[in-house]
Amino acid sequence: MSENLLEATGVEKHFPITKGLFKRQIGAVRAVDGIDLSIRTGETLGLVGESGSGKSTAGRLFTRILEPTAGTITFEGEDISHKSVTQMRPLRRDVQMIFQDPYSSLNPRHTVGAIISAPLQIQNIPTPNGVKKAVQDLLALVGLNPEHYNRYPHEFSGGQRQRIGIARALALRPKLIIADEPVSALDVSIQAQVVNLMEDLQREFNLTYLFIAHDLSVVRHISDRVAVMYLGKIVEVADRDDLYKNPRHPYTVALMSAVPVPDPVRRDRAQRERVLLTGDVPSPINPPSGCRFRTRCWKAQEICATEEPPLITRLDDPESHLTACHFPVVNDETVAGRRPAATPA
C-alpha cells in the first residue's frame, strides 16, 4: 500500500510564448512549476485546485502525454520523464486516462466497439474469445448493455458516454488511471453513479487513481489522500481526513469555506465562516515572488514575498501532512471574513 507507483520530483512544465517570424521566445506559461508528488499503489490521490492551477497539466505529465521541461517522473522505479512515443508504448498498458468531456473524448465516427477495442489492437493484446466478446465484457463491466457495441457515441447520454470512456481506459487492465474531472460534466445523480462505479472497479482490479477535480466534496468522498494545487505548485498534501479536518494552508481553508453548504438552516453560519478570496488567480506567466498565494492571502507578511515556503510538515501534523506556508492556519483559528490587507502587487 505504501509503495510508490508513480513518483514526480521537481517536475516543471513551461509552455513557451513566442513572438515574431523567428518565434523568439519572450516568456513562458509556467503551468506546472516544480512539484513533488508520489502516487502510492492502490490509493486514490485527489488533486484539487482552481482552473489555471496546473492540475490538468500535471495529470498529462504523469501520463506522459506531455514531456516535462524539468524534473523526473518515475513509474514503478523506471524513469519515464523523456521517453519517446515508441518507448512509452509498452507503458501505456499500465497508465490510462479518463477525460472530462464525454462528448469530445469519443470519436463520433467510430462505433463503441471500435473505440473500446482500439487499445487492445494497438497493443496487440490477444483476445481468446474474439474482440467482440472482449468489448462486450467491458461494456457489461461498466454497466452498459453489451448489445450496444455497434452503436455510435451520439446514441448515448453523457453518463453512458463517460462509462464508455471508463471501459476504454480499463481495456488494457492498467495499474494507474488518471481521471481528469471525470464527473464534472454530469448531472448529480449520474455523477454519483459514476463515482460508485469507479470505486467498485478499483476494488475489483486493484486500481490506483489520480482523481483530478475542482469539486472538493467529490474529491473528499473518493480520495485516500488529497493534494491541493495553486498556480503550478502543490501547496498542501495530506491524508484525506487530516486535510479536511485540519487544513493548514490558507488557500485550502479558503477553498473549503467557499463550498456551499446544502443546508438552508445553517446558511447564515456558513456565510459568516466564509473566507473571502478577492480577485482572480494571478497569471502563471509572471507569478508573484515568494509564496504565490500571498497576493490573495490575509496572513501574508514580508517574508512571504521574498522567500518561497517549502512543502514540509508544519505544527504538530503527522509526517504525511505537508504544507507550503510560512504561517499555517492553526486549529480553531478564526479566519472568517478575512481579506488580504495589502492590494495585490
Partner 1 sequence: MSIGTPASRPFLEVKDLTIRFETDDGIVQAVTESSFTLEKGKTLGIVGESGSGKSVTSLGILGLHRTRSNAKVSGEIWLEDQELVTATDEDVRKLRGGKMSMIFQDPLSAMHPYFTVGSQIVEAYRVHHPGVNKKVARERAIDMLARVGIPQPERRFNDYAHQFSGGMRQRAMIAMALVNDPALLIADEPTTALDVTVQAQILDLIRDLQEEFGSAVIMITHDLGVVAELADDVLVMYGGKIIEKGPAVDLFQAPEHPYTWGLLGSMPRLDREVRDRLNPVKGSPPSLINLPSGCSFHPRCPFAERNGDRCFTEIPLLGGPRHPVACHLPEDDRPRIFQQEVRPNL
Footprint on this chain of partner 1 (rule: CB under 8 A): 50-51, 157-160, 187-193, 195-196, 199, 214, 216-218, 220-221, 240-241, 244, 254-267, 270-271, 274, 276-280
- C-beta of 161: minimal distance to partner 1 in Å? 11
- CA dist 131 and 119 (Å) reads 11
Please tell me the distance from the alpha carbon of residue 94 to that of residue 287, in angstroms, as a whole number: 35
Cβ closer to partner 1: 125 or 244? 244
- By beta-carbon proximity to partner 1, the closer residue of 98 and 281 is 281
Handedness of CA 103, 156, 154, 150 (dihedral sign): positive
> Which residues have CB under 8 Å from 249's CB, separation 6+?
228, 235, 236, 293, 323, 324, 325, 328, 329
Q: Are 240 and 44 in contact (CB under 8 A)?
A: no
Shortest Cβ 49–partner 1 spacing (Å): 9
Nearer to partner 1, 282 or 309 (CB): 282
Q: How far apart are the C-alpha atoms of 95 and 32, rounded to whole Å?
A: 20
In the complex, what is the shortest distance from the CB of residue 211 to partner 1, in angstroms, rounded to a whole number?
A: 12
CA 15 to chain centre: 19
Tell me whether residue 32 or residue 255 sits nearer to partner 1 (CB atom). 255
We find the least distance from the C-beta atom of residue 265 to partner 1, in angstroms, to be 6
Give 200's contacts (C-beta < 8 A, 6+ positions apart). Answer: none
Secondary element (H or E) of residue 13? strand 4-19
Provide the grid cell at 268.
447564515
Is there a contact between 293 and 301 (Cβ–Cβ < 8 Å)?
A: no
Give the full edge-to-edge strand order of the sheet including 78-79.
Answer: 24-40, 4-19, 70-75, 78-79
Nearer to partner 1 (CB atom), residue 316 or residue 332: 332
Least gap, CB of 241 to partner 1 (angstroms): 8
Cell of 251: 488557500
Task: Please state the closest distance from residue 182 (CB atom) to partner 1, in A.
Answer: 14
**Residue 4 CA: distances (Å) to CA of 39, 41, 67, 104, 134:** 6, 6, 21, 32, 31
**What is the amino acid identity at position 296?**
R
Smaller CB distance to partner 1: residue 79 or 280?
Answer: 280
d(C-alpha 43, C-alpha 79), whole Å = 21
Smallest distance, partner 1 to C-beta of residue 172, A? 27
Residue 276 vs 285, nearer CB to partner 1 = 276
Query: Helices 188-205 and 158-170: crossing angle, nearest 10°?
Result: 10
Q: How far is the CB of 25 from partner 1 (least distance, A)?
A: 23
Looking at the Cβ atoms of 97 and 275, the one nearer to partner 1 is 275
Q: Write out the three cell numbers for 103.
A: 462528448
